[in-house]
Structure 1
Amino acid sequence: MEVMQYAEDALTINLGNEVDEKINRQLVILKAAIEKLEIEGITDIVLSYTSLIVYFDVQKTNIEKLKESLSTLDLSDLTDSTYSYKVIKIPVCYGGKFGPDLDSFKADGLEPEDVIARHSEKEYLVYMLGFMPGFPFLGGLDESLYKARLDSPRTKIPAGSVGIGGQQTGMYPFDSPGGWNLLGRTPIPLYDSSRESAILYEAGDRIIYTSIDEDEYYRIQEAYEKGQYTVDIEYRGEENGA
């Protein structure tokens, strides 16, 4: 592990320089191991593609104490532990007013139904959350769906929009400007402070998009608002070395 300090109240642990599923798995395991140490003063642990940032309260601990505690961890030992994660199914209404860029894939030789078939019903790995609370950067996109961001970003993208930017897919938890190609929208709030977990997923989890029609979109939206809809979440575990 490469431990570096870029701020007075944070330590960064680097595990590599490539976007890789194995590194993501190691970061998730390392985060859990640090949390188990229950180090006084740590306020947050944030994952990126290849690193983990430990934020701490300088009034409760200092960099030397934190480094000493972290030095007790051996990443090679952690790889033998059980890796648990969630699989969250997100219903998406593709195309139409929800996915204005779906037809743009015709220029790449793909009809809308082809794009939907290749984008839905597969597991995407949540590499990290960023840009805004709850925005997942997902890996595992079919190479035929790679598409550069729009030359002119939109000034407002509706919350729940699902899109593609380059080699990744993701979704917008809030109304926001953005330049991703929009395929559809989910009726499930991606950030909801009234839930036990305001954000349904975190780094290391998986997301599966399921295709629904417009009628189903509004049915789910209404059911969720009435507290009558339960998000489909499956809990899984695997060997970390797998």
Structure 2
Amino acid sequence: MNFNYKPAGDSAILMDLDSGINEETNTRIIHLASFIESKSEEGFGEVIIGYQSVLVQYNPLKLSYQKAIDQLKRLEEVLNNTGSQSRRTIEIPVLYGGDHGPDLEKVAQHNKLTIEDVISIHSKSQYLVYFLGFTPGYPFMGGMSKEIATPRLESPRFAIPPGSVGIAKDQTGIYPVASPGGWNLIGNTPLRLYNSEKSNPFLLKAGDFVTFRSIQVEEYDEIKDQVEKDTYKLVIDC
């Protein structure tokens, strides 16, 4: 797996990896991004990761474009010495259907399934968080079964509540904050994926695994109250 280098403006470089979108690629991307960020004294700044890419900002007063590439190529060598990544598995409780999941029935009808089938299929899979983006804390995840894949809405909604769990094509996601969106909403989690008042505002990070657990209204209200009081104990398997 080799990186291709491209300029991204006058002070950034896009490193594209010629590999598939999978866990191994994700591990290499995360390790390299972390290593580059540790080299700020050499002139490197913020690093933004994608499915198969790393966007690296650099200080043009310290590094020329070619010198930055030369140094990044040397840093690539660290990838040959990285072991398997330690990953967290975080459980996300979800209240499916009703007002919290207005498109659940549509997803079921599109795939010729029952509502119970959709919930079961969606909640039995394990999802890998490849990176965060779009809005603060939004997880781009892989691992959803194609059995429940559903096209995006023809007309996006102007406002989607925080915590909404949606499906678009063969992907699933969670909206951390209120925002427009065109995904089919199948449920809502009482957890907060983004909290600006905390030193670490993001619930999830790249490399995490996510599992969904179906809950009922009573537990949803109970967890939401605990989250507001900051007493909820997150279920994490390391």
**TM-score between the two structures when normalised by the length of structure 1:** 0.88
What letter corresponds to residue 136 of structure 1 in structure 2? P
Residue in 2 that maps onto 1:196:
199
Identify which range, 54-63 or 132-141, moves more after superposition.
Answer: 54-63
The equivalent residue for 1:69 is 71
Residues 1:135 and 1:102: Cα distance change in structure 2 (over 3 Å) = same
Alpha-carbon distance between aligned partners in 1 of 2:152 and 2:79, rounded to the nearest angstrom: 40
Q: Compute the displacement of 1:157 (Å).
A: 0.8
Deviating above 4 A after TM superposition, structure 1's stretches of 4 or more consecutive aligned residues are 59-62
Structure 1, 37-46 or 83-92: larger mean CA deviation: 37-46
**Does the 8 Å contact 2:43/2:58 carry over to 1?**
yes
Please identify, of 102-111 and 184-193, the stretch whose mean Cα deviation from structure 2 is larger: 102-111
Give the AA of the match of 2:8: Y
Which region of structure 1 is more displaced relative to structure 2, 163-172 or 58-67?
Answer: 58-67
Counting only pairs closer than 5 Å after superposition, residues 15-164 of structure 1 correspond to structure 2 as 15-16=17-18, 18-59=20-61, 61-75=63-77, 77-78=79-80, 80-104=82-106, 105-164=108-167
Q: Which moved more, 1:54-63 or 1:149-158?
A: 54-63
Q: Which has the higher helix share?
A: 2
The unaligned stretches of length 5 or more in structure 2 are: none
**TM-score relative to the length of structure 2:** 0.90
Q: Is the 8 A contact 1:165 1:181 kept in 2?
A: yes
CA spacing shift, 1:126–1:90, aligned 2, 3 Å: same
Please tell me whether the aligned partners of residues 122 and 212 of structure 2 are also in contact (alpha carbons under 8 angstroms): yes
Change (3 A) 1:28 1:218: same
Distance 2:32 2:79 in 1: 10
Structure 1 vs Structure 2 CA RMSD: 2.0
Show the counterpart of 1:168. 171
The 8 Å contact of residues 150 and 180 in structure 1, kept in 2 or not, is answered as: yes
* SS state at 2:87 partner: strand
Aligned partner (choices 222, 227, 238) of residue 224 of structure 1:
227
The question of 1:5 aligning with 2:28 is answered: no
Kindly state the Cα deviation for residue 76 of structure 1 after the two structures are TM-superposed.
Answer: 7.8
1:45 shift after superposition: 1.0
Query: How much has 1:124 moved relative to structure 2?
Result: 0.2
How far did residue 135 of structure 1 move?
1.2
Question: What secondary structure does 1:72 align onto?
Answer: helix
1:147 positional shift: 0.6
* Cα drift, residue 166 of structure 1: 0.8
Residue identity in the other structure for 1:153: P
Q: Tell whether the 8 Å contact from 2:31 to 2:82 is kept in structure 1 after alignment.
A: no
Describe the superposition over 1:57-110 as per-residue Cα deviations: whole angstroms up to 9, x where unpaired. Answer: 445554344333322224585364231222221111100110001111124221
Letter in 2 for 1:133: P
Structure 1: runs of 5 or more not aligned: 236-242
SS, match of residue 97 in structure 1: helix
Partner of 1:238: none
My pick for the range that moved more, 40-49 or 2-11, is 40-49
Q: Greater share of strand residues, 1 or 2?
A: 1
Query: Structure 1 residues 20 and 218, CA, compared in 2 at 3 Å: closer, same or farther?
Result: same
CA distance in 2, matches of 1:116, 1:123: 14
Distance 1:77 1:203 in 2: 17
Q: How far apart are the structure 1 equivalents of 2:237 and 2:66? A: 40
Distance apart, 1:48 and its partner CA? 1.0
Task: Give how far 1:222 is off.
Answer: 0.7
